[in-house]
Structure 1
Amino acid sequence: MGFLSMFKSTFLLWVLWMSACGNQPKGQTVLNETVPSAVPIDSVKPITVAANRTAEYLPLLEGKRVGVVANQTSVIFKNINENASDENNIGYTHLIDSLLALQIDIKKVFAPEHGFRGKFDAGEKVKDDVDTKTGLALISLHGKNRKPTASQLQDVDMVLFDIQDVGVRFYTYIATLQLVMEACAENNIPIIVLDRPNPNARYVDGPTMEPEHTSFLGMTEIPLVYGMTIGEYATMINEEGWLSEKGKADLTVIPLAHWDHKSHYSLPIRPSPNLPNDLAINLYPSLGLFEGTDINAGRGTEFQFQRYGAPFLNKENYVFEYIPKPNFGSKYPKHDGVVCYGKDLSEFPAISEVSLQWLLDAYRNATDKKRVFLTEGFTKHAGTEKLQQQIEAGLSEAEIKASWQAGIDRFKQIREKYLLYPE
């Protein structure tokens, strides 16, 4: 533990700072940046993820039995350029390895959808396991339970959460966050969230989740794209009473440094198997709506969420076709081995909105329109029955998006209270 003694003075300063900050919401701590967020960000300085800010959180873990919520994105970067786009050309150490090397007493790792190594398919059940490298118990939060149980937490004094999010409501890592926070609140266990950039943080858009349609694909009444980092969102969950029985977790957020909501950030590690690059992440809020339909959104190809198609789209109107086949992260893609007609968006420019143009295009060109919404998942993805009804009624994109505005405006008023970084 000799290394950690270096942080004793840092910890003392932190305690003094906390004593001086009497205006923090009860149950929540946000450790401040060196430069207050009200001061303009110096764009020359590299973005620093919270995991790299070890002096801010290691003192809080010392002497504690720790449970870590993590996956393949939970890393500490070794080089100064965290915006490198090629995961093979960037140095990093996994957070778990780093903490173990520093003799932090990690009791177990909780893994979200896709598993600790990020190799399981979307929606695939993941069993509890033991990590072969570290010998740590891996507790799946996408298997027999999605919320840590009291027995799973009985030997844990502190939970550390560090997962890269992409800022889309039906991307399930924020549901896992909420359920972990609930479990921590119910069992009086403090939780630390290490913040990471949201690559879709520049805007808020999409239909707002309606309470009667909440599920693991959307647990709270927020728009499809909510424009917050996972740390900001954790604070909102806690302070808005969105945990079970309106409980409140003992939450500490370790913020990013040198980042704002307009910053571009290329994820150096794919956050899940079917989001391989910047474009897929950018188009995911729009093309992800196809997940609730019988239309393939590129799964079973190397261009996931950069194309769409189906065998029942009118081939007379499309020059592009492809055949989905099982691959990494998609063992059973829609229309496996069948020619799909549709559109290639692999050269499409980045957008800052939820676009309905492709969903409307596919519906209009379906030779059998009943096949589009064959699955039961569309309402869960959209968060409302209205979107399907509007599409089937022939409303334009502008008309549909106008119906979202009131919900977006209400959410933005709430969101503003919890932003940790400039817009």
Structure 2
Amino acid sequence: MKLSFTYVFLLFLVLSFQLSSCARQQKKSTTKETIQPKEPKTIKTGADRIDQYLPFLKNKNIAIVANQTSILHVLQRAEVAPNVMGSATTTHHLVDYLHHYDGINVQQVFAPEHGFRGKADAGEAIADGKDVKTNIPIISLYGKNKKPSPEQLKGTDVVVFDIQDVGARFYTYISTLHYVMEACAEATIPVIVLDRPNPNGHYIDGPILEPEHKSFVGMHPVPVVYGMTIGEYAQMINGEKWLANGVQCDLTVIPLENYTHQSIYSLPIKPSPNLPNDISINLYPSLCFFEGTNVSAGRGTDKQFQIYGSPFLEKTNFSFTPQPNEGAKYPKYKGELCYGEDISTHQRLANLNLSWLLKAYKQSPKKDFFNAFFTKLAGTKKLQQQIEQGLSEKEIKTSWQQDLESFKKVREKYVLYK
């Protein structure tokens, strides 16, 4: 039977429309797939990048600067040390891992403030000893002995530094890094820094430390929050010749993978007893100024560096009573009722917040508010003077800006990540 021309033409139009519709749907589907946000890749620490640093350590006598945060994740069974039992998800402490690795001799461990297992109070003297698990000698780098001596480094071929920093100038692990690099430079011993993310690496803020106020809670002309990983910071110490007599050490940084300074990184292990969670770590640069005042920053509670208060502040609905606990054997205002503010639900900070400090100053007895430690924390006398003069937070922060811009130019030379 013959089909009319009109019928064939109509059939052609219908089929063309259907094919065009299918093509549009397929294109739409493809477009939708391409704009789906990709899941962020897992950040890989320097310690996790085993193949990058093992060649430097084989058949060597090594010393490790470490604490409880010095962990690594063995991602493939082939990477597991021959004498270490493990699987694809096994987590090891760096000291344990390298101690069992054939051809590597871990001579000793150097421990920073809070000790090798991270249990000691801030400022508490740490005794030398032996690790109960590996029987490796532990040498404290806190107290009178902050810098490894030539005798302590005798026979060491390379020093590995692997400690989690939190990006605040007064957090003493970067001071330990300085002294380790200095001792190794003088002894011509290479240093390998296994880089770790900076949970406060997303901003730069605060007054620059002035040389006359140099101490173990601030050794370098950097702001309170410097926006660098510990590997980047090591490169800056070396490159700016901040070590004694301008010496420079043989430095290797094992970089991070899949990290930027805007990455949100949750620490798997608390870096010290009084920084128990991500909130406290983020608030720490702002609240640590209270350590140089008559106001408690929450030591002796379960909300360290998430609350503040004292018996002298105005009575509010919020109060707490500090009691001895891990990391605070003798907390400020032990057993006394303190009034203040709970800021544990505050949004994530991307700058220093001085409002709590200024508010507490206005409510406290002015004569006894500051102590000598405040200037060490601030790195300058100007901040205390500005507060006493009644300057606003905006006015105080404006006074930092020129110095911060100068620092950023120095910092730019050493950054490894965007």
Residue 398 of structure 1 corresponds to which residue in structure 2? 394
Look up the equivalent residue of 2:293 and give its one-letter code. Answer: T
Matches within 5 A, 1:272-421: 272-315=272-315, 318-366=316-364, 368-373=365-370, 375-421=371-417
Q: Secondary structure of the residue that 1:51 maps to in structure 2?
A: coil
**Sequence identity, in percent?**
58
Distance 1:265 1:292 in 2: 29
Matches within 5 A, 1:94-243: 94-103=93-102, 104-243=104-243
Residue 55 of structure 1 corresponds to which residue in structure 2? 51
- Cα contact 1:113–1:123 (8 A) shared by 2: yes
User: Which structure has the larger Rg?
Assistant: 2
Q: Secondary structure of the residue that 2:175 maps to in structure 1?
A: helix
Q: TM-score, normalised by structure 1?
A: 0.86
**Cα-to-partner distance string for 1:31-84 (whole Å, 9 max, x where unaligned):** xxxxxxxxxxx863210001010000001001111000000000012579xxxx
Give unmatched runs, 5+ long, in structure 1.
Answer: 1-41, 81-89
Matches within 5 A, 1:11-90: 44-78=40-74
**Cα-to-partner distance string for 1:67-120 (whole Å, 9 max, x where unaligned):** 00000000012579xxxxxxxxx9521001110121320000000000000000
Distance 2:147 2:228 in 1: 23
Residue 83 of structure 1 corresponds to which residue in structure 2? none
Distance 2:407 2:207 in 1: 11
Look up the equivalent residue of 1:394 and give its one-letter code. Answer: G
**Is the alpha carbon distance of 1:251 and 1:359 closer, same or farther for their aligned partners in structure 2, counting shifts above 3 Å?**
same
Matches within 5 A, 1:250-289: 250-289=250-289
Across the aligned residues of Structure 1 and Structure 2, the Cα RMSD in angstroms comes to 1.2
Q: Secondary structure of the residue that 1:343 maps to in structure 2?
A: strand
Distance 2:293 2:154 in 1: 41
Distance 2:410 2:47 in 1: 27
Look up the equivalent residue of 2:348 and give its one-letter code. Answer: A
Distance 2:74 2:320 in 1: 40
Q: Secondary structure of the residue that 1:65 maps to in structure 2?
A: strand
Distance 1:91 1:207 in 2: 42
Distance 1:214 1:353 in 2: 23
Distance 2:350 2:272 in 1: 21
Look up the equivalent residue of 2:244 and give its one-letter code. Answer: S
Distance 1:127 1:294 in 2: 30
Distance 2:90 2:344 in 1: 28
Distance 2:98 2:289 in 1: 38
Look up the equivalent residue of 1:406 and give its one-letter code. Answer: Q
Distance 1:170 1:251 in 2: 23
Distance 2:40 2:384 in 1: 45
Q: Secondary structure of the residue that 2:224 maps to in structure 1?
A: strand
Distance 1:365 1:79 in 2: 53
**Is the alpha carbon distance of 1:324 and 1:411 closer, same or farther for their aligned partners in structure 2, counting shifts above 3 Å?**
same
Q: Secondary structure of the residue that 1:401 maps to in structure 2?
A: helix
Distance 1:290 1:304 in 2: 12
Q: Secondary structure of the residue that 2:43 maps to in structure 1?
A: coil
Q: Secondary structure of the residue that 1:224 maps to in structure 2?
A: coil
**Cα-to-partner distance string for 1:150-181 (whole Å, 9 max, x where unaligned):** 11001211000000000000000000000100
Distance 1:230 1:307 in 2: 27
Distance 2:65 2:95 in 1: 10
- Cα contact 1:79–1:92 (8 A) shared by 2: no
Look up the equivalent residue of 1:102 and give its one-letter code. Answer: Y
Distance 1:342 1:154 in 2: 52
**Cα-to-partner distance string for 1:304-358 (whole Å, 9 max, x where unaligned):** 000000111122xx22111000001110100000001100011111110011000
Offset, 1:214? 0.6
- Cα contact 1:314–1:365 (8 A) shared by 2: yes
Distance 1:309 1:281 in 2: 18
Give unmatched runs, 5+ long, in structure 2.
Answer: 1-37, 77-88
Distance 1:155 1:336 in 2: 47
Q: Secondary structure of the residue that 1:312 maps to in structure 2?
A: coil
**Cα-to-partner distance string for 1:200-253 (whole Å, 9 max, x where unaligned):** 000100011001001000100000000000000000100111010000000000
Q: TM-score, normalised by structure 2?
A: 0.87
- Cα contact 1:43–1:258 (8 A) shared by 2: no
More divergent stretch after superposition (286-295 vs 228-237): 286-295
Look up the equivalent residue of 2:360 and give its one-letter code. Answer: A
> 1 or 2 for the larger relative contact order (CA 8 Å, sep ≥6)?
1
